Amino acid sequence: MKHLFTFLLAAWVLNTASAATGHPNVILFLVDDMGWMDCGAYGSKYYPTPRIDQFAARALRFTDAYAQPLCSPTRASLLTGKYSARHGITSATGHLSPQPAGFKFLPDTAPANRPLLSPESKNYLEPSEVTLAEALRAAGYRTAHIGKWHLGLTRPHWPEQQGFDVAFHCHPDPGPPGGYFSPYGVKPDGDPRGQTKAGTITDGPPGEYIVDRLADEAVKFIESNLDRPFFLNLWQYGVHGPWGHKTNYTQQFVGKTDPRGKQGNPIMASMLRSVDESFGRILDALDRLKLAENTIVIFNSDNGGNTHSNVPDTARTAKAEKGKSPMLTDWRKWAGDLPPTNNDPLRDGKGTLYEGGTRVPLMWAWAGRIKPGLAHDVVGHIDLYPTVLDLAGVPRPAEQKFDGVSYARVLRGEGRLDRAAFFNYFPHARNGGGVWVRAGDWKLIRWFDPGTPRELFNLKDDLSEAKNLAESQPAKVKELDALIDGFLKDTGALYPRPNPAYKVATATPAPAPANANPADPLDGWKARQCEVAVKDGIVTVAGKAGAFLGHGMGKLTGPATLKFRARSATGGASKVEWLPGGATDTANAQSTAYTLPAGDWQELSVSVPAKGPLGVLRLYLPAQTGPVALDWVELKPATGKPQRWDF
């Protein structure tokens, strides 16, 4: 049906006289991890962003625009017009292997020490979605995706399969391709050993900066499509970690202070300068080619600013320095222990449901069609698709269901957006995650952990979400709670549910994992070829190639699934191995490969297709190029109770 729609719409358009010249060009410039306060146009007194600020002066700037707390859900919503609860991509997992057909995204069971059954994010954008790119291409547009994708690891889920004629991308892709500097190490089909990324990105001169390269590719695309309308989906890698920057830029911010006393990371300032320059180059190309008056330009970010981690690209640093690339030599040399940014006055940041994690910059410009100024309407990621179609005069795909609404009338200056409520759903956090609704100035957060109380804020009076009014406003809580109930039902959201085994576990403790020692902080795991440290429930593993943690599995049998949450500045390929006959049975060892992406925390799931006893299980970690941090490990065997180790 998807392809039938495309054919019928294309036929309709080709018989329309205005098909070739009647539609405006569309450029979506998406920054990765740029917070609401990370440019001068939105109030930063530390980050110089002259090109973004110049654009803001001729754009309609939204003060109350939202995205998801993490990137993949936002990206999927931009292209589908749907809430993440409906399309199923709820976390930043687009770099992981796609789940098989029939996969159950909300499990029936969980270890007895876990109070909730938690859903799993879909790792790919469904091919059946009629994306914004497909709708525009059917209307005669030439389409391009340039930059980070993060909506599917394998070829059936690459941008070429979602409506893009031209694509410049790589996989896995939570962050930049092998670092911010060329050589990027991308091959058309990757490396069978998992050492090399797959995709269409090609190396540039040694030391080339990927943010600059994406601008090069974007300008080439614009120049090659002067005779027909085009859609350019330019999704920058900056300013996502692991952070790489031009040290000659960074040096200019050393010693600079913020009059607000809030921001001050020179590396973030340096990287934002590069993003600002790349955006400026796109605007310059439009002016030079006399396309500005017929081009809609949208500037947006995929989630709130990152306030909680500063992982340097140490491995790539050493390689780039040998090639005389302007790479950082020591994160702390430039930034000390500063977080990437500060979203004040907004609360918290990326990965949270507070305003700092979900409120983002959003600006639209179209010369003579969109009046510059400020808009306080509540809009978001789900609305971009229908709004673009309305402005461009392209019909909506009849078979694509939209949660988003068009705010074209706001852009045209025809009035405010009549919206009863806007929702944000994120079921991945230590407290089970949650969902919020915003109706007018009111925002209610419902946490999925039944023991966590509601939080109610009046954002007009309390933008920083400092005062919870839930107890003093029970009627308002009840009113907004009903809206959330309707949202969850309508979207079919797979939200966390109580674990039926949890009460049994609290009354009668479940058996400890095999070989566990209560006095052992590793809870029975043995460290080999590495050194480990345990602090605040996090195990840090440092070692050489072949470093692993091993554990006897007793009578547990396969097949099984091993899940774990890990973080590594450098990432790398590794494996999970099992020895059916025990630690000495190396002749019969079997293994499954996996890749830990570089950057922030990742939840990985590795299949263990054992046919019989697991014996000893070994979790190998790519610790030879830098420390790897582990939060927890979980094993779900075919028979026997699931085991979980919270260190």
Q: Between vectors from CA 278 to CA 272 and to CA 281, what angle results, nearest 5°? A: 145
Q: Is 540 part of a structural domain of the chain?
A: yes
Q: What average pLDDT does the structure give for the chain?
A: 88
Closest among 283, 299, 173 to 237, alpha carbons compared: 173
CA distance 89 to 124: 7
Average pLDDT of the residues in 117-133:
96
Asked if the structure places residue 523 within a domain, the reply is: yes
CATH number for 396: 3.40.720.10
Predicted pLDDT of residue 335? 86
Q: Do 371 and 438 have their domain in common?
A: no
Q: Are residues 256 and 405 in the same domain?
A: yes
**453 in the same domain as 356:** no
pLDDT score of 310:
54
What is the pLDDT averaged over residues 121-149?
97
Question: Is residue 625 one of the residues assigned to a domain?
Answer: yes
Burial class (CB in 10 A: 0-12, 13-18, 19+), 164: buried
* 183 in a structural domain: no
In a domain, 248, yes or no: yes
pLDDT tens digits, one per residue of 14-69: 333 333 448 999 999 999 999 999 999 999 999 999 999 999 999 999 999 999 99
| Domain range enclosing 588 | 514-646
Contacts of residue 578, Cβ cutoff 8 Å, sequence gap at least 6: 553, 558, 589, 590, 591, 608, 610, 614, 615, 616, 617, 618
pLDDT at 350 over 70: yes
Q: Which residue has the higher pLDDT, 479 or 540?
A: 479
One domain, residues 407 and 428: no
Confidence of residue 445 (pLDDT cuts 50, 70, 90): very high
Shared domain for 486 and 527, answered yes or no, is: no
User: pTM score, two decimals?
Assistant: 0.80
Per-residue confidence (pLDDT) for residue 324, from 0 to 100: 42
| Claim to verify: residue 529 and residue 470 sit in the same structural domain | no
* 381 and 276 share one domain: yes
Residue 436 Cα to chain centre, angstroms: 19
The CA distance from 71 to 160, in Å, is 20
Q: What's the CATH number where 442 sits? A: 3.30.1120.10
Could you say which of 354, 389, 411 is where a domain stops? 411
- Classify 506 as helix, strand or coil: helix
Do residue 220 and residue 366 come from a single domain?
yes
What sign results for the dihedral spanned by CA atoms 189, 195, 197, 201? negative
The CATH number given to whatever domain includes residue 618 is 2.60.120.260
Burial-class residue 5 by CB neighbours within 10 Å (0-12, 13-18, 19+): middle
Question: What is the model's pLDDT at position 555?
Answer: 81
Query: Are both 590 and 559 inside the same structural domain?
Result: yes
Structure tokens at 391: 């402005």
Confidence of residue 325 (pLDDT cuts 50, 70, 90): very low
| CA–CA separation, 186 and 209 (whole Å) | 15
Specify the pLDDT at position 192: 57
DSSP 376: -
The total domain count for the chain is: 3
- Under a CB-based contact definition with an 8 Å cutoff, are residues 172 and 165 in contact? no
pLDDT at 320 over 70: no
Does residue 638 share a domain with residue 491? no
Q: Rg of the chain over CA atoms, in angstroms? A: 25
Q: What is the C-alpha to C-alpha distance for residues 55 and 34, in angstroms, rounded to an integer?
A: 16
- Please tell me the least confidently modeled range out of 139-148, 195-204, 281-290: 195-204
% of the chain exceeding 70 in pLDDT: 89
Q: Which two tokens stand for residue 305?
A: 């600013």
Long-range contacts at 104-109 (CB < 8 A, ≥ 24 apart):
105/494, 106/494, 106/497, 109/499, 109/501, 109/636, 109/642
Structure confidence by residue, pLDDT tens digits, 529-587? 888 888 878 899 987 778 899 999 888 888 988 999 898 877 778 889 988 888 776 77
Give the model confidence (pLDDT) of 174-188 as tens digits.
889 988 999 999 998
In a domain, 342, yes or no: yes
pLDDT band, very low/low/confident/very high, at 196 (cuts 50, 70, 90): confident
- 365 within domain boundaries: yes
Domain identity same for 127 and 270 = yes
> What confidence tier does 194 reach under pLDDT thresholds 50, 70, 90?
low
Q: Which residue has the tokens 């921001």?
A: 263
Is the domain of 590 the same as that of 461?
no
Section 243-265 average pLDDT: 94
pLDDT at 353 over 60: yes
Does position 588 have pLDDT exceeding 80, yes or no? no
Is 50 exceeded by the pLDDT of residue 321? no
Question: Which of residues 497, 523, 556 is at a domain's end?
Answer: 497
Checking if the pLDDT of 290 tops 90, the result is yes
The answer to whether position 330 is within a domain reads yes
